[in-house]
Amino acid sequence: EGVGVAFTLELTNDVQGDVTVAVSFADGTTASGDFTHTTQSFTFAGGAKGTKTVTVPTNDDSFLETDETFTASLALTAGNSEVVVSDTGTGTITDNDVASVTITDATAVEGVGVAFTLELTNDVQGDVTVAVSFADGTTASGDFTHTTQSITFTGGAKGTKTVTVPTNDDTFLETDETFTASLSLTAGNSEVVVSDTGTGTITDNDVASVTISDATAVEGVGVAFTLELTNDVQGDVTVAV
């Protein structure tokens, strides 16, 4: 698109007198703004066999679309009426635009949804639907909702959408945990790129401490201090006293 589509006309044999043909154009999967639809006229002077080139200007738009086609048809407007002009040509306009769906990294405290932002980076012809799926990194099955979500950019309009993933507010102290969000195209133009991934981080909101009591004993008897781990913790906890 943006470059002229060049058809070649050929008069296959010499003809007595000039031969003039009109070349007209009709949309196939193209629309009115995709190319110049103006009919063009060509004359083979003196009826000499040979070739002529018909160039049709095309419009370089900015949105991703499928390749499109239109038809070129001939009509004899002057010359020997026995010249056959029933042939047609198909013009194809190939697209030169790109579009992708990206996804951001996102962070939330456990118990709060992790909100990823998806962006369709360019306008696309027709709806674009992506599935967002999730895989554990350092998370486990109970840390967040793993259900795949589906997002549609209606009409292929570029812009952003938010995908929120519920997380579980547990009660034990653990390190911050991560998981991955991946994209797949489920409907729309197959040339939309969906290779991006996002990392979700769940930050912990729990606390734990080891306390030690006061202790008293008669001399000669051991002084017994009590240590308490005040909350469950992910993994062993070892303290030196």
| DSSP count for the chain of H helices, then E strands | 0, 16
Which phi-psi region, left, alpha or beta, contains residue 126 (left: φ > 0; alpha: ψ -120 to 50)?
left
Question: Residue type for 210, please?
Answer: V
> How do residues 207-237 score in pLDDT, each as one tens digit?
889 899 999 999 999 999 999 888 888 889 9
13 vs 35, 49, 153, 158, CA distance in Å? 31, 5, 55, 53
Token pair in block for residue 201? 């981080």
> How do residues 177-198 score in pLDDT, each as one tens digit?
999 999 999 999 999 999 999 9
The residues, ordered by sequence, that sit 6+ positions from 175 with a Cβ below 8 Å of its Cβ are 138, 204, 234
- Residue 35 sits at φ, ψ, to 5 deg, of -155, 170
For the whole model, what pTM was predicted?
0.79
Q: How far apart are the first and last CA of the chain?
A: 76
